[in-house]
Amino acid sequence: MTLHTPIPVPPARASMAGRKGGPGTRTMLGLAALVALAVFGNGAVLTMAIAIFAAQAALSAIQLMPSRRGRLIARDKPVHRRPRVYTLHVATHNEPPEVVIRTIRGLLAQVGAPAYEVIVLDNNTQDARLWKPVAAFCEGRNGVRFLHRDGVEGAKAGALAIARDMARPDATHVVTVDADYAVTSDFLARADAALTETGADFVQFPQAYDRDSGAPGVSEELGDYFARFASHGDRRGATLLTGTLSVISLDALDAVGGWRAVTVTEDAELGTRLVEAGYRGHFVPQVVGRGLLPLSAESLCAQRRRWAHGNAATFLLRPGVARSLAPVRQLLAWVNFQTFGAILLIWGLASELFDLRFGTEIVGLGVATLFLALLAAILPFATASLGAATCRMALLPSSASATFEALCGWEQTFLRTSKLREEISVRMPPEMITTLGLGLGAIVLSAVSGDRVATAGGIALCLPAVAYFYLEHELARYRRQLGEVST
């Protein structure tokens, strides 16, 4: 069945991402900081520098703490009111049709699975050459429906909200699968077994990447989240969602208000609401599907900006989640204060040059903040993979700028990770250029002032730009490998 008519999005389930500018709490705090700076000068800056350093120290400790892994403790008597029926949702936008069709084939080839349906919802794709081949593939096939909708608001959350409304009436669980994920034939059977074994309200499988031998460092860096953070929340049932290979009870989904686009990581935000409402999530450490890596370093950086911004915004939007460390660790996995440290470093150097008070102290706190952020990023890979550590270093400025924007209350637009070769760009992202510029500026100013500590801070700011070339090298090799496979 194929539908392609415009439809308005239900506003309760698919609001626009982010909050528009206005006099909010963070804006007022920013104005208060400027007033304090004008009145108290470098004394106020020193106070802020101490607070930023302390925040980065606490953040690094949270990120580096050992993960306490363990199986989710099953409920005493899991209750199943009716047989499970699954509705599998694939949201697409400007995706290569051959990639989406591969995903649908895998979903239709499930072996030993309970009853299920597949809904493919293409939202806002203007080029009919991208969505019509998928519609043609789905036409007449049992168990799959394709819908093309224009005017969808709320990006992926809006598309998933529409798919939820289209689900078969007897469905009990929704499964979200990204458009580029080829799942194993036993994916749904494993998910059903995990729900039966644990009585969990939702389960999350790890994201893995297809034909990734060309970029092992990138793949390992991305997999670190599941190895250290997602698994940590399992015993307490506080594993959050990551958007693909997620299986959620519809009763739980509807009870917490469904999909919302209040941040650019609608999956983590929903997971936070589920955990806060007392629903339990289970992480299943089994690879049941593999997707495509971003095709360029710039695209990977944009993806990381979205993840860091969305998760930080979710944490600020729902501070009640801080009652449990497990979801906090997941939300703050990529957050860092490198941007704040760079600002402190430059400010302190300028203060030294103009013989202002506390310049040296501000420089020291800025450099310490930079090194704490750097160590938290690379130490987990110190004895495992130099390539993964280099890739993580290259992504630091993207995470840092997203953290800065989220704390300032600045909105970020949802940007999908492109899988189209014609959209590949090898430009260095703006945040990388800015960080490199600040690092070089700090080295020059430190040469004038003779502050060797500041020189070390400038070098630390330049390192991600060097690592970025390695990141691009790995993804260029990955692109070549994909080209060889497709020819």
**DSSP characters over 286-343:** ---EEEPPPSSHHHHHHHHHHHHHHHHHHHHH-GGGGGSHHHHHHHTSS---HHHHHH
Report percent pLDDT > 90 for the chain.
76
Residue 28 reports pLDDT greater than 60: no
Q: How far is CA 434 from CA 41, 206, 412, 440, 443, in A?
A: 26, 33, 18, 10, 14
Same domain as 137, residue 109:
yes
Q: Is residue 438 assigned to a domain?
A: yes
Same domain as 116, residue 56:
no
Q: Is residue 155 assigned to a domain?
A: yes
CB atoms near residue 47 (< 10 Å): 15
* Residue 116 CB-half CA count within 13 A: 24
Instruction: Report the side by side order of strands in the sheet with 246-249.
Output: 2-3, 144-149, 116-123, 86-92, 173-176, 246-249, 202-204, 281-283
* Domain end residue (candidates: 293, 321, 342): 293
Q: What is the 3-state secondary structure (H, E, C) of 353-422?
A: HCCCCCHHHHHHHHHHHHHHHHHHHHHHHCCCCHHHHHHHHHCHHHHHHHHHHHHCCCCCCCCCCCCCHH
pLDDT, tens only, 133-175? 999 999 999 999 999 999 999 999 999 999 999 999 999 999 9
φ/ψ of residue 343, rounded to 5: -65, -45
Helix, strand, coil percentages (3-state) for the chain, rounded to 5, are 55, 10, 35
What average pLDDT does the chain have? Answer: 88
pLDDT, tens only, 391-433? 999 999 999 999 999 998 888 776 666 666 656 667 899 999 9
The 8-class DSSP code of residue 238 comes to: B
Tokens in use for 259?
């999909």
Q: Is residue 79 assigned to a domain?
A: no
Same domain as 446, residue 405:
yes
Run of H or E residues at 169 = none
Run of H or E residues at 71 = none
Q: Rounded CA gap, 267 and 241, in Å? A: 5
Confidence band, pLDDT 50/70/90 cuts, at residue 21: very low
The 8-class DSSP code of residue 75 comes to: P
* Domain end residue (candidates: 265, 293, 321): 293
Q: Could you tell me if 436 and 462 are in contact, meaning their C-beta atoms sit under 8 angstroms apart?
A: yes
Same domain as 139, residue 264:
yes
Q: Is residue 246 assigned to a domain?
A: yes
Same domain as 95, residue 34:
no
Same domain as 253, residue 123:
yes
> Which CATH number characterizes residue 251's domain?
3.90.550.10
Residue 485 reports pLDDT greater than 70: no
pLDDT, tens only, 36-81? 665 567 888 999 999 999 999 999 999 999 876 555 555 554 555 6
The DSSP bridge partners found for residue 202 are 248, 281
pLDDT, tens only, 427-467? 899 999 999 999 999 999 999 999 999 999 999 999 999 99
- pLDDT recorded at residue 482: 85
Q: How many domains does the chain have?
A: 2
Place of tokens 């730009």: 465
Residue 16 reports pLDDT greater than 90: no
Residue 178 reports pLDDT greater than 90: yes
Same domain as 99, residue 245:
yes
Which amino acid is located at 146 in the chain? F
Among 354, 351, 356, 364, which residue's Cα sits nearest to residue 457?
364
| Domain hosting residue 417, numbered range | 29-67+333-486
Mean pLDDT of 109-129: 96
Q: Is residue 72 assigned to a domain?
A: no
Which amino acid is located at 18 in the chain? G
- pLDDT recorded at residue 296: 92
Place of tokens 């070390």: 456
Q: Rounded CA gap, 406 and 375, in Å? A: 22
Q: How far is CA 215 from CA 53, 76, 388, in A?
A: 34, 44, 10
Q: What is the pTM of this model?
A: 0.89
> Which residues have CB under 8 Å from 210's CB, separation 6+?
180, 182, 290, 291, 292, 293
Same domain as 98, residue 229:
yes
Q: Rounded CA gap, 286 and 290, in Å? A: 11
* Domain end residue (candidates: 266, 293, 320): 293
Q: Rounded CA gap, 319 and 418, in Å? A: 32
Please say whether the dihedral angle defined by the alpha carbons of residues 413, 419, 423 and 425, taken in this order, is positive or negative: positive
- pLDDT recorded at residue 7: 35
Same domain as 93, residue 42:
no
> Which residues have CB under 8 Å from 115's CB, separation 6+?
83, 84, 85, 86
Q: Is residue 136 assigned to a domain?
A: yes
Same domain as 373, residue 452:
yes
Q: Is residue 13 assigned to a domain?
A: no
Confidence band, pLDDT 50/70/90 cuts, at residue 232: confident
Among 422, 183, 200, 201, which residue's Cα sits nearest to residue 295?
422
The 8-class DSSP code of residue 150 comes to: S
Q: Is residue 206 assigned to a domain?
A: yes
Q: Could you tell me if 86 and 115 are in contact, meaning their C-beta atoms sit under 8 angstroms apart?
A: yes
pLDDT, tens only, 263-281? 999 999 999 999 999 999 9
Among 239, 352, 243, which residue's Cα sits nearest to residue 306?
243
Same domain as 373, residue 281:
no
pLDDT, tens only, 311-366? 999 999 998 888 889 999 999 999 999 999 999 999 999 999 999 899 999 999 99
Q: Rounded CA gap, 118 and 89, in Å? A: 6
Same domain as 136, residue 59:
no
